[in-house]
Structure 1
């Protein structure tokens, strides 16, 4: 019994010297064979505590003279790894998305004042290539709206297509609360409405399934037609997409990028290039076998220009 107590005191004294500035952890079995632990104060015996007897363990306990402290795991408290992971930082909106939301919010607020006409994101005459846009008059009593193109590049939106950063969801909610209509457009058939709606719902971009979907209703229907119809029913103040043809189909007919140089003033001013890989200005290629003409004399194959035919005119023929 005396040997066991001596061993315990030796171990505890070693632990006390080792714990300064560190956290010590050691597995030290304490076994008593039919022992009774007592405490005394003023020569009065303290309460007794019966300890379970384990004959096998007592027999295997080494002699006090040969016992050694074989290992002591030391953990530096100052450099210890926290047990809980640090909270993740929510993703930030891209600068383009942020600018789209800022512009839309400011113009929706100004439109609500109803003091003067509001410039829309719709070209007055696309073939003119001068950047002039239609206005919304206060007396028109049309609701402000924004339009977001879902199609990646010139491909149709699919279940695996990327969506705008979900961090924009809260900003869209604020726009809705201000009376702004949110619309999503795709070249997909209206028969795929459930697929598109489900993707927007699961991403949190349209959790209440309250936004407008602009999909193709019949063979030959075009996004340009859907945009024009939507703009006639609302005050379309901003359009977001990953290519310039998402703003107006004239870009599908331009053979020289310099012809549309004046339209670049609409970027971040009604038109917003968003997405993982938004189209850059240099990606609107000029044919390499022709020198770039003066913008004023540029040959443009856009709907409404003499010498070309629009998709509508082709259908009539």
Structure 2
């Protein structure tokens, strides 16, 4: 079937055409002013994140010029309270030590760099969406960004928009919502991922979450501009009510199952998102997708059994690569997911290896018997 083509060597030679011009900078519609709000995670009646009452700000202006006033960011932070070391089996060799967060967690959940990358992605998303809003108001045709059943990575084809209402589709976990409570517990245990424990987290961890930096303000601005926010997550349908509550607890607004919230059904093979994407695209003109894994954009990235270098080329050396930043927006996640695979030989090409000269064996010295003095 053409859509499942595995031709991965086609170089990126042309951009996927997208309607509308590239607008000048339009800042994420953030509330003006505000101080850093710190909220501990401990305490059964405390939410992981409580937003201060924002100062009123104007609605975003689609297609704003580069001279538009950029409103200052209102930073919202979270401080993790110390957690007791839970019981459980001893960590296996090669796993993080209990109580010490691995580097990926330190970066994503604790670093200013991780927060800055997320805000950067949401800034770019808002500018792109603002352009599409302006295109619709100008009566221009808009190209959707949901890959159609006939499309492929090499020959992208997208579900037509027509006059359907505008929407942006978001993954949930580590895209708009940070699972601080689960990841803190994971770090303290140091025993690796447990699906049963994740299911218990979905059911009971509603209030131990926080928004991804930049997400709340961007989603608010899009809704004010008339864009529908749709969530497409692999959280279980069995925990629909809890997922809705977690999204609301993070300050991300409401979600209605089957309309603005789509979840994974039970049973094998239900983790793919394409079938849900096509149902969403039948109702909406999807102008952007946002996620933290390649599978949040199309299932074609995850056929299974693909070598690490080839999968990297699938995202960067096919015609679909033109979508990054032009309808598809990726958030950082060095903590878990389909991208965290590969050994040294998979990641580093043999012809790019380097040997430290200090590690090279010393050059052989001539034997004393071979010196000119001894030869005479």
Q: TM-score range by the shorter chain?
A: 0.5 to 0.7
Alignment check: 8 A CA contact 1:125 1:132 kept: no
- Pick the aligned partner of 2:74 from 66, 72, 90: 90
Alignment partner of 1:212 is 2:212: no
TM-score normalized by the length of structure 1? 0.53
Mark the runs of 5 or more structure 1 residues left unpaired by the alignment: 1-85, 293-317
- Pick the aligned partner of 1:273 from 330, 344, 359: 330
1:177 maps to 224
Alignment check: 8 A CA contact 1:238 1:270 kept: yes
Greater strand fraction, Structure 1 or Structure 2: 1
- In structure 1, how many angstroms separate the alpha carbons of the residues matched to 2:280 and 2:337? 27
- In structure 2, how many angstroms separate the alpha carbons of the residues matched to 1:223 and 1:167? 24
1:123 maps to 147
Tell me the CA shift for residue 135 of structure 1: 5.3
TM-score normalized by the length of structure 2? 0.45
Alignment check: 8 A CA contact 1:129 1:259 kept: yes
1:74-132 deviation per Cα after TM superposition (whole angstroms, max 9, x unaligned): xxxxxxxxxxxx9447327610111112212221331243322x122222467732252
1:188-238 deviation per Cα after TM superposition (whole angstroms, max 9, x unaligned): 2222111111111111111x4567111124434332211121112211111
Alignment check: 8 A CA contact 1:146 1:182 kept: yes
Alignment partner of 1:227 is 2:277: yes
Between 227-236 and 100-109, the greater mean CA deviation after superposition = 100-109
2:166 maps to 144
Between 275-284 and 148-157, the greater mean CA deviation after superposition = 275-284
Higher relative contact order (CA 8 A, sep 6+): 2
Alignment check: 8 A CA contact 2:171 2:291 kept: yes
**How many matched pairs?**
203
Q: Greater Rg, structure 1 or structure 2?
A: 1
Alignment check: 8 A CA contact 1:144 1:181 kept: yes
Mark the runs of 5 or more structure 2 residues left unpaired by the alignment: 1-33, 37-72, 76-115, 176-192, 350-376
